[in-house]
């Protein structure tokens, strides 16, 4: 693995070895054991969309690994004035040891990797959010003690989170079911791959999807960049595509809930369900730090 542009860049072994190292780094951090595995290295962080978790966890992660992280706001870079990605890639490769990028188009991240000569990490595009999925898998494995054989149900938009969860979960031996409105399905190629490589179902029926689920995952109805579609999306999702007590009761009794955050209470998840599963959700947020530190060590050490 040279880059992490999307979950399909990782084999099952890649994923598990990142999770194992993440567990170790989490343990060491809790016990005050320093691990300067990226001493002297610099990560550039390009943001063309907002962020709280990704921004802070990558920057703190690099600091804790003995390296340095540089915030590069897309709008303040020449990139924002039209300098081509392929030129940016070749320039930044001469200064940095790795780049994390959050942007809109997956093609831009792929181009950065094609023209650059350093590891590229996708910090979210419209197509994928692999770093979040590593944290989710880490959290699920911590709580359930395994991934193989579990069922993940995703309720909501077939966008970046769903696309990446499908690939990550199926690779780790989980069953995957998604309930989404018509017209909001995940990427067609990803669904085709999932059907060929695991147990994957797609339905418009939330209760069908969550039956026997060990973990329910959801995400906002309108993602960053979809603000203008918010009304139309509300009509498609409202009243049906919500993780509430009734939906949770239809899953396994010990079903976990995961949410990448930020959450819109009263929309994709109710206040009650969110708060009763807050420990799992905020552990998931914390695990962004540990999983990404492990990922950076694998790619950049
Ligand atoms: N979940 C996630 O990526 O959060 P941020 O948008 O705050 O980075
Ligand atoms: N689907 C959301 C995830 C945010 C972390 C978005 O793209 O805005």
Q: What is the pLDDT of residues 5-16, one digit of tens each?
A: 999 999 999 999
> How many Å lie between the centroid of ligand 1 and the Cα of residue 196?
31
119-130 per-position pLDDT tens digit: 999 999 999 999
Q: Would you call 175 helix, strand, or coil by DSSP?
A: strand
Q: Return the percentage of the chain with pLDDT > 90, whole number.
A: 99
Candidate list 219, 255, 258, 277, residue with the active-site label: 219
Which pLDDT score, from 0 to 100, does residue 46 have? 98
Which pLDDT score, from 0 to 100, does residue 1 have? 93
Q: Is 48 in the pocket of ligand 2 (CB under 6 A)?
A: no
> Which residue's CA is minimally distant from atom 3 of ligand 1?
54
Catalytic, 132? Answer yes
189-247 per-position pLDDT tens digit: 999 999 999 999 999 999 999 999 999 999 999 999 999 999 999 999 999 999 999 99
Report the distance separating Cα 37 and Cα 184, nearest Å. Answer: 42
Candidate list 102, 141, 233, 277, residue with the active-site label: 102
What does DSSP say about strands 175-179 and 151-155: parallel, antiparallel, or unpaired?
parallel
136-174 per-position pLDDT tens digit: 999 999 999 999 999 999 999 999 999 999 999 999 999
7 and 168 Cβ atoms separated by less than 8 Å: yes
> How many Å lie between the centroid of ligand 2 and the Cα of residue 188?
19
pLDDT band at 277 (very low <50, low <70, confident <90, very high): very high
65-79 per-position pLDDT tens digit: 999 999 999 889 999
* Ligand 2 atom with least separation from CA of 49: 8
Report the distance separating Cα 295 and Cα 301, nearest Å. Answer: 10
Start-to-end C-alpha separation, the chain:
13
* Ligand 1 atom with least separation from CA of 261: 1
Cβ-count burial 86-99 (b if 16+ within 10 Å, e if not) = eebbeebbeebbbb
Candidate list 132, 242, 258, 292, residue with the active-site label: 132
pLDDT band at 289 (very low <50, low <70, confident <90, very high): very high
Q: Would you call 251 helix, strand, or coil by DSSP?
A: coil
Which pLDDT score, from 0 to 100, does residue 111 have? 98
Ligand in nearest proximity to the CA of 131: 1
- Find all residues with CB under 8 Å of 144, minimum gap 6, and list them: 150, 214, 215, 256
**Residue 285 belongs to what H/E stretch?**
helix 278-300
Q: In what order do the strands lie in the sheet with 42-47?
A: 68-73, 42-47, 98-102, 120-122
17-40 per-position pLDDT tens digit: 999 999 999 999 999 999 999 999
56-112 per-position pLDDT tens digit: 999 999 999 999 999 999 889 999 999 999 999 999 999 999 999 999 999 999 999
> How many Å lie between the centroid of ligand 1 and the Cα of residue 129?
9
> How many Å lie between the centroid of ligand 2 and the Cα of residue 39?
31
77 and 83 Cβ atoms separated by less than 8 Å: yes
Q: Max alpha carbon distance in the chain (Å)? A: 54
> How many Å lie between the centroid of ligand 1 and the Cα of residue 55?
8
The CA R_g of the chain, rounded to the nearest whole Å, is 19
pLDDT band at 135 (very low <50, low <70, confident <90, very high): very high
Average pLDDT over all residues of the chain: 98
Q: Which two tokens stand for residue 58?
A: 């990558």
Catalytic, 136? Answer no
Ligand in nearest proximity to the CA of 291: 1
Residues with CB under 6 A from ligand 1: 51-54, 124, 132, 260-261
């Amino acid at each position: 693995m040279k880059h992490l542009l999307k979950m399909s860049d990782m084999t099952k072994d890649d994923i598990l070895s990142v999770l194992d190292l993440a567990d170790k780094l989490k343990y060491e951090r809790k016990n005050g054991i320093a691990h300067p595995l990226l001493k002297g290295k610099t990560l550039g962080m390009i943001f063309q969309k907002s962020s709280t978790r990704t921004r802070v966890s990558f920057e703190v992660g690099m600091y804790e690994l003995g390296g340095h992280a540089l915030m590069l706001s897309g709008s303040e870079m020449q990139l924002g004035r039209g300098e081509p990605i392929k030129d940016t890639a070749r320039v930044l490769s001469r200064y940095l040891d790795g780049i994390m990028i959050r942007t809109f188009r997956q093609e831009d991240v792929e181009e950065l990797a094609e023209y650059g000569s350093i590891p590229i990490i996708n910090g979210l595009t419209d197509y994928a959010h692999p770093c979040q999925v590593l944290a989710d898998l880490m959290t699920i494995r911590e709580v359930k003690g395994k991934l193989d054989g579990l069922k993940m149900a995703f309720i909501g938009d077939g966008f970046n989170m769903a696309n990446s969860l499908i690939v990550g979960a199926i690779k780790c031996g989980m069953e995957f079911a998604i309930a989404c409105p018509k017209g909001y399905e995940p990427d067609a190629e990803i669904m085709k791959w999932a059907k060929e490589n695991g147990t994957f179902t797609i339905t418009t029926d939330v209760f069908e999807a969550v039956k026997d689920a060990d973990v329910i995952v959801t995400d906002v109805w309108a993602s960053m960049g979809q603000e203008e579609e918010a009304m139309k999306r509300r009509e498609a999702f409202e009243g049906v595509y919500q993780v509430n007590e009734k939906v949770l009761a239809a899953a396994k009794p010990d079903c976990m809930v995961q949410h990448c955050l930020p959450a819109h209470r009263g929309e994709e998840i109710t206040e009650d369900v969110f708060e009763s599963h807050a420990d799992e959700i905020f552990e998931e947020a914390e695990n962004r730090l540990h999983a990404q530190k492990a990922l950076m060590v694998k790619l950049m050490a």
